[in-house]
Amino acid sequence: MSSSKKPIPGAPAAQPPQVPEQTVPHSPLPPKSDQRGPEMVSPTGVPTGAPAGSASQSGAYLTTAQGLRLSDTDHSLKAGTRGPTLLQDHHLREKITHFDHERIPERVVHARGAGAHGIFQSYGTGTRITRAGFLAKDVQTPVFVRFSTVAGSRGSADTVRDTRGFATKFYTDEGTFDLVGNNIPVFFIQDGIKFPDVVHSVKPHPDREIPQAQSAHDTFWDFVSLHTEAQAHTVWFMADRGIPRSFRTMEGFGVHTFRLVNADDQTSLVKFHWKPRLGVHSLVWEEALMINGVDPDFHRRDLANAIEAGAFPAWELGVQVFPDTDDEMFEGIDLLDPTKFIPEELAPVQPLGLMTLNANPKNYFAETEQVAFHPGHLVPGIDITNDPLLQARMFSYLDTQISRLGGPNFAQIPINRPQAPVNDMLRDGMHQSADYAGVAPYRPNSLDGGCPFHAGSQDGAFIDIPQPVAEGVKIRDAAATFDDHYSQATLFYRSLSTVEQSHVIEAYTFELGKCYETAIRERQLKSLANIDAGLCSGVAAGLGLPVPEPEQQPGNPQPSPAVSQVGRKWPTDGRVIGIVTDSGTDADKVLTARDAITAAGMVPLVIAPTGGMLTDTDEPVQRSYATAHSTEFDALLLATSETGEPVDPRILLMVTETFRHAKAIGGWGSAAAVLAAGAIDLSAAGLVLGEPEDVVTRVGELLTEHRVWKRFSA
Ligand code: HDD
């Protein structure tokens, strides 16, 4: 068989490659410092159990999965250059077979996510209430966090209206602890047996499989309006928390009440909270819609970019602590009902430690996709309660990994490997990769010298807290305290600022407006009447439907200012400020502003008519008018010049959107004229004209409040 290629008649002559392929073998690139896997990041020095030499890329040459070096992976083995492919081509078959099986089932919920590695540093304040070793003073524990949306599939957009998952894996010396929470402190349902129902209702309609990653459709509102315990959660994600600005600006909640036990065997009930150092901030709805088109990976990109730039996001872990009373109630609120939260004004959040995310995954699939969380991954000192939602979760998570990760040995996948020693007597099964020694994976035994041994509490064993079991009969029912479905929805809504309330009204109006069935809209309006008369009439007006009478009059709960996102000031690290330039821009002023933004820990993005260099400088621009979009910035600076020409429509679009989304705008040069061309009143709130350094300082101050809130009411 000849290896020389004959020209094909009529085909264009082959062009030589422009960039010659690297031919000198060299070792694979070492991981970047921010791309180390958990097996390499153990600040406590605890060995992770990753077998030596388990790296999948070793050696410089391309090989088969068996390590056979290959000379050609560009052509299949054929009977002549134009002949049929031969069945004996083992390399072709291995390559294609592996490819055919590259996808695994996506998570049934929370399929779309982004992850990061980090460190949890404990303050030691937790020892009062728990014996958990990772909460003792000054302990550092490696963590992996995965943030997610709930409803959409793996390729769906990031900024849809939805609850967000916030799942944290603590690789502690006593075993792995998973805190599998959300960014909303209450849940849709009270009993895990309803989970398939609520999920089926929010997923795309089974006939046409639309809409993707949306709750704005009939089946969801059909369920929520009939199963009214879902109202308490729904009002939270109709509010701004349903469209976070960034994963870095989300609170996290363990939702359920957990039972902790300290070294003296004293128990308490707690709810876990994550408080973001940057504050809780959201997008506005129009921004969220635009981003879904312009940058569907917005949250994923934001997290990875921030970590790569060294702007490590951080959250403080805290607990609300309640006495472990027989009735498991606090201030009249049932601690076992996951649709209820305890206002922080009644039980302040007590800090336990700080989590900092400081490394991006080096491989999305290996880490973020294969990570397997489970609320049943507990450590000594932390136990569960009888919350019926949590009880069902104890079953569901283990079960789902078996089909998702192909068998019961998913704990051996590097991202899931505990960093505590493992000696589990579990054997065999699909994808078993452990090399077990000994002959007696059973207890008691004499053949392996009795090993493994039972541990006592003094050896750090997990001891189930002896809890009296409620007296009564076997029954499919809920406690009477679970019957109240509205008081906390009212409490939440009334705790919001006026502008946040208007966003809630707009969200319900949009969502219900997308339902086809009038009966469903009317039924949901009845629920809104039970929550708040103003909310109900606002939505009814938008829908063009009559305002129904409430079935029960809303109560008058004490508001909880802590749930509002407006009215406080926050650090501005990592906030993005766009600087719009044109061909006549004063480059010195732009560079002064850019340096001042960087010095303040924020991120400048210089926008110019085209890519390349900023006018008369060798400073690169980051965005052109074609690639820049207002949704990428938290504030905008106008550094344009008086050209005598009409303002470029792309600048006008950016400016008017930025203004409409209540973001600060600063500028000099022709800034006032550009604003006027956008029909923006120069006396409006949040406009800052002046010299660059001063403008950057004042815009930075406006950013501490996230948005120019006054503009919404203007
Ligand atoms: Fe769940 C995934 C959070 C109730 C069943 N859940 C999952 C994830 C988060 C949550 C953050 C994604 C984890 C990851 O990133 O891999 N789930 C919650 C919260 C709940 C909750 C805060 C209530 C307070 N979940 C819940 C119930 C059930 C499930 C009641 C079933 C009875 N959840 C699952 C699941 C998932 C899951 C089907 C899908 C993928 C997975 O577990 O690993 O088992």
CATH number of the domain within which 528 lies = 1.20.1370.20
Q: 393: annotated binding-site residue?
A: yes
Q: How far apart (Å, rounded) are the C-alpha atoms in residues 291 and 135?
A: 39
pLDDT band at 57 (very low <50, low <70, confident <90, very high): confident
- Give the domain-ending residue among 515, 532, 563: 563
Q: Is the dihedral of CA 487, 489, 495, 497 positive or negative?
A: negative
Distance 192 CA to ligand 1 centre (A): 10
* pLDDT confidence of residue 16: 45
Q: Who's near 475: CB < 8 A, 6+ residues apart?
A: none
- Asked if residues 581 and 621 have their Cβ atoms less than 8 Å apart, the reply is yes
* pLDDT confidence of residue 469: 84
* pLDDT confidence of residue 28: 57
110 lines ligand 1 (CB under 6 A): yes
Range of the domain at 398: 113-188+247-416
- Which is more confidently placed, 698 or 10? 698
Q: 404: annotated binding-site residue?
A: yes
Q: In the predicted model, what is the mean pLDDT of residues 379-395?
A: 97
338 and 397, same domain (yes or no): yes
Task: CATH number of the domain at 671, please.
Answer: 3.40.50.880
Q: Is 199 helix (H, G, I), strand (E, B) or coil?
A: helix
For residue 57, being part of any structural domain is answered with: no
280 and 410, same domain (yes or no): yes
165 lines ligand 1 (CB under 6 A): yes
pLDDT band at 40 (very low <50, low <70, confident <90, very high): very low
558-617: per-residue pLDDT in tens? Answer: 999 999 999 999 999 989 999 999 999 999 999 999 999 999 999 999 999 999 999 889
Residue nearest to atom 12 of ligand 1 (CA): 110
* pLDDT confidence of residue 4: 44
Q: Is the dihedral of CA 368, 371, 375, 378 positive or negative?
A: negative
Is the confidence at residue 51, as pLDDT, over 90? no
173 and 280, same domain (yes or no): yes
Distance 566 CA to ligand 1 centre (A): 30
pLDDT band at 2 (very low <50, low <70, confident <90, very high): very low
**Percent of the chain as helix, strand, coil, to the nearest 5:** 30, 15, 55
For residue 657, being part of any structural domain is answered with: yes
Concatenated DSSP letters for 261-328?
A: E-TTS-EEEEEEEEEETT---B--HHHHHHHHHH-TTHHHHHHHHHHHTT---EEEEEEEEEE--TT-
Q: 486: annotated binding-site residue?
A: no
For residue 490, being part of any structural domain is answered with: yes
373 lines ligand 1 (CB under 6 A): yes
Residue nearest to atom 37 of ligand 1 (CA): 109
- Mutation to probe ligand 1, out of 189, 396, 402 (largest number of atoms < 8 A from CB): 396
404 and 490, same domain (yes or no): no
- Which is more confidently placed, 469 or 68? 68
For residue 396, being part of any structural domain is answered with: yes
Q: Who's near 337: CB < 8 A, 6+ residues apart?
A: 190, 387, 479, 481, 482
290 and 408, same domain (yes or no): yes
Q: Is the dihedral of CA 381, 382, 387, 391 positive or negative?
A: negative
- Mutation to probe ligand 1, out of 373, 384, 398 (largest number of atoms < 8 A from CB): 373
Distance 109 CA to ligand 1 centre (A): 7
Q: In the predicted model, what is the mean pLDDT of residues 298-313?
A: 95
598 and 666, same domain (yes or no): yes
Catalytic option among 26, 75, 98, 110: 110
Residue nearest to atom 40 of ligand 1 (CA): 107
For residue 37, being part of any structural domain is answered with: no
Residue nearest to atom 11 of ligand 1 (CA): 165
Q: In the predicted model, what is the mean pLDDT of residues 161-172?
A: 98
Q: In the predicted model, what is the mean pLDDT of residues 476-480?
A: 94
Distance of alpha carbon 297 from the chain centroid: 12
Is the confidence at residue 5, as pLDDT, over 90? no
408-455: per-residue pLDDT in tens? Answer: 999 999 999 999 999 999 999 999 999 899 999 999 999 999 999 999
Nearest-5° angle of CA 515, CA 520, CA 526? 125
* pLDDT confidence of residue 67: 87
Q: 195: annotated binding-site residue?
A: yes
258 and 142, same domain (yes or no): yes
Q: 161: annotated binding-site residue?
A: no
Total of domains in the chain: 3
What six digits make up the tokens of 286?
């129009």
Task: CATH number of the domain at 164, please.
Answer: 2.40.180.10
167 lines ligand 1 (CB under 6 A): yes
| Three-state secondary structure of 347-370 | CCCEEEEEEEEEECCCCHHHHHHC
530 lines ligand 1 (CB under 6 A): no
Residue nearest to atom 19 of ligand 1 (CA): 181
For residue 421, being part of any structural domain is answered with: no
302 and 379, same domain (yes or no): yes
For residue 433, being part of any structural domain is answered with: no
* pLDDT confidence of residue 43: 38
Q: How far apart (Å, rounded) are the C-alpha atoms in residues 558 and 41?
A: 46
308-319: per-residue pLDDT in tens? Answer: 999 999 999 999
Distance 113 CA to ligand 1 centre (A): 13
* pLDDT confidence of residue 25: 64
396 lines ligand 1 (CB under 6 A): yes
Q: Who's near 146: CB < 8 A, 6+ residues apart?
A: 113, 114, 115, 165, 167, 368, 371, 373
533 and 582, same domain (yes or no): no
Residue nearest to atom 30 of ligand 1 (CA): 192
Is the confidence at residue 386, as pLDDT, over 60? yes
Respond yes or no: is residue 556 known to be catalytic. Answer: no
Q: In the predicted model, what is the mean pLDDT of residues 61-74?
A: 93
The structure tokens 């919001």 sit at 496
- Give the domain-ending residue among 360, 390, 416: 416
- Give the domain-ending residue among 514, 540, 563: 563
273 and 339, same domain (yes or no): yes
- Which is more confidently placed, 151 or 40? 151
Q: 241: annotated binding-site residue?
A: no
* pLDDT confidence of residue 1: 37
Is the confidence at residue 79, as pLDDT, over 80? yes
State yes or no: ipTM above 0.85.
Answer: yes
Catalytic option among 75, 117, 182, 273: 182
Distance of alpha carbon 277 from the chain centroid: 16
Q: How many CB atoms lie within 10 A of CB 224?
A: 24
Q: In the predicted model, what is the mean pLDDT of residues 497-503?
A: 97
Distance 469 CA to ligand 1 centre (A): 26
What six digits make up the tokens of 656?
């008017």
What six digits make up the tokens of 57?
């890329």
* pLDDT confidence of residue 465: 92
Is the confidence at residue 335, as pLDDT, over 90? yes
Distance 193 CA to ligand 1 centre (A): 13
236-282: per-residue pLDDT in tens? Answer: 999 999 999 999 999 999 999 999 999 999 999 999 999 999 999 99
* pLDDT confidence of residue 13: 47
Q: In the predicted model, what is the mean pLDDT of residues 384-389?
A: 97
397 lines ligand 1 (CB under 6 A): yes
151 and 178, same domain (yes or no): yes
Respond yes or no: is residue 182 known to be catalytic. Answer: yes
Distance 317 CA to ligand 1 centre (A): 20
Alpha-carbon dihedral angle through residues 491, 494, 499, 504, given to the nearest 10 degrees: 50
For residue 427, being part of any structural domain is answered with: no
Q: Which residues pair with 270 in a beta bridge?
A: 258, 321
365 and 252, same domain (yes or no): yes
* pLDDT confidence of residue 714: 53
